[in-house]
Structure 1
């Protein structure tokens, strides 16, 4: 069955038949399980993963929230099982063509309009800028620089070059971080070395699409708008964030060989070239995700 609207003019929610939306939900659950289940097994065993666990510890979207499939604002669910969504905050029952269906309540949009506006503004500003690809992933090094053992963020993982070697790398190259949520974790000794002092108020002015973390954070902005944004897009953004996180940590000062990762040795010319090449690929992958989320925001605000 094709989606239908409740009026001839096309106003009102598009309706998904039970067979359509339950199939999409099943695909989503399978997709999430491939990533969430290993994380939960590691957590139960007390064996954290320094790369993948970041997606669940730094970001606030919990596994059970990620599992819950949402059709997005403007799409209604029909047929058996749709009533289950009334148990979730933000859903209501409406009548379309004489049938009772379930959809996201417009009150959710009104309540969160300011968040949608902020996200749209940030994404549009980021998208409009030319990517910068000359940071070489030094933010992770700057989080350790002259900080000693207390600055180590992954206690079970050694530094590839030791403390002195790590400090020497930071001192050999300029810090050009443009992402506040990375900069705020710089050690006190590293922060003044950055070419620009970043703060939360300047985030929209500084964010740029070449930044690995700006691409990862498209996931954050997508899940913060759930259930207004559909879960398929949220998962696309999640999978991109995971790929970006892998490069993030391969280029870090940590030795991840025990986890199957070869280092990207940004302390060498060939390592920096590799980082830039992969950073460019990730920036290109993030572009349609950012554009897609921006378009959804604009639709919500229209």
Structure 2
């Protein structure tokens, strides 16, 4: 059963909008400055290049499905995609007209996508996390590379021979298609799994760093049905996970201020797993919030 929409007074939602913009500027403003000066960042640029949401859309706060904005300022959003006038019960019990998500239009365009995301998130949430990969996916992306297979012009902490030796000394068990597809040709057969897009819902598991980062992707793919606060929480988690992913990689990032997590050592493995478990716990909460967005959408249709 779909809950009745919630009316948000202009003073409330404009404060939330401003807070969202300030929060996102923590990442967006430095990124814009780097772009202006032509300075690349080996860790944080990924959040703006691999993921397709633009900085401008990241700063755009949405109330999400089930919320209706009151006041004259809300009417600007009638020019935004997938917004419409919506009737809602006001504080005095009477019906007032505000602006909110155009649920029928959203579902007409994205019902299948919302259903697929719900299926993926639900399957992942119902599966036990695996914490024995030790970040070997990043190493397999650099295992015995051929021409054109090196993606980042960064020094290797252990050199090429040392990197290859670490891969050969470990069991590679990457379950995430969007990490596996970047393995070198030599690295592919070393993986114990063969993830594909068709098997993504069968293999994705909540301990995977890339599955956790991708919560951000599903948040913006569901926009504007995703509340801005949830999008920002998912982005913040993706930024933290990305840092661990690169610190545990073969790259030497000390010149950029990142100390390595040496996963080839027992101490590094322990540090990696502890962080991985913490991210999985944070991700579980956000996954449930995203599932609620999917279910609210699909129930409304």
Alignment TM-score, normalising by the size of structure 2: 0.94
CA apart distance, 1:99: 3.6
* Residues 65 and 296 in structure 2, CA contact (< 8 A), matched pair in contact too: no
Deviations 1:195-222 (A, max 9, x none): 0112111100000000011111011011
Match of 2:44 among 48, 52, 57: 52
Does residue 278 of the first structure (1) align with residue 270 of the second (2)? no
Does residue 117 of the first structure (1) align with residue 109 of the second (2)? no
Deviations 1:222-275 (A, max 9, x none): 110001111110110000000000100000000110111110001111111111
* Residues 175 and 194 in structure 2, CA contact (< 8 A), matched pair in contact too: no
Does residue 151 of the first structure (1) align with residue 143 of the second (2)? no
Deviations 1:54-104 (A, max 9, x none): 110000101001011100122111112111111111111234445431111
* Residues 266 and 275 in structure 1, CA contact (< 8 A), matched pair in contact too: yes
CA apart distance, 1:111: 2.4
Q: What are the ranges of 5 or more consecutive residues in structure 1 without an aligned counterpart?
A: 1-9
* Residues 13 and 103 in structure 1, CA contact (< 8 A), matched pair in contact too: no
Q: How far apart are the structure 1 equivalents of 2:3 and 2:193?
A: 48
Match of 1:188 among 180, 185, 199: 185
1:142 equivalent in structure 2? 140
Indicate how the Cα distance of structure 1 residues 149 and 160 shifts in structure 2: closer, same or farther if over 3 A, else same. Answer: farther
1:202 equivalent in structure 2? 199
1:94 equivalent in structure 2? 86
* Residues 91 and 105 in structure 1, CA contact (< 8 A), matched pair in contact too: yes
C-alpha root-mean-square deviation of aligned residues, in Å?
1.6
Q: How far apart are the structure 2 equivalents of 1:31 and 1:109?
A: 29
CA apart distance, 1:151: 2.7
* Residues 148 and 163 in structure 1, CA contact (< 8 A), matched pair in contact too: no
Q: How far apart are the structure 2 equivalents of 1:47 and 1:191?
A: 32
More RCO (CA 8 Å, sep 6+): 2
Deviations 1:29-74 (A, max 9, x none): 0001111000111111111111111110000101001011100122
Deviations 1:132-189 (A, max 9, x none): 001100111111111157333221x211111111111111111010111000000010
* Residues 140 and 253 in structure 1, CA contact (< 8 A), matched pair in contact too: yes
Q: What are the ranges of 5 or more consecutive residues in structure 2 without an aligned counterpart?
A: 89-93
1:224 equivalent in structure 2? 221
Q: How far apart are the structure 2 equivalents of 1:133 and 1:98?
A: 52
Indicate how the Cα distance of structure 1 residues 141 and 83 shifts in structure 2: closer, same or farther if over 3 A, else same. Answer: same
Q: 3-state DSSP class of the match of 2:84?
A: strand
Aligned residue pair count: 293
CA apart distance, 1:12: 4.9
Q: How far apart are the structure 2 equivalents of 1:284 and 1:12?
A: 30
Q: 3-state DSSP class of the match of 1:76?
A: strand
1:5 equivalent in structure 2? none
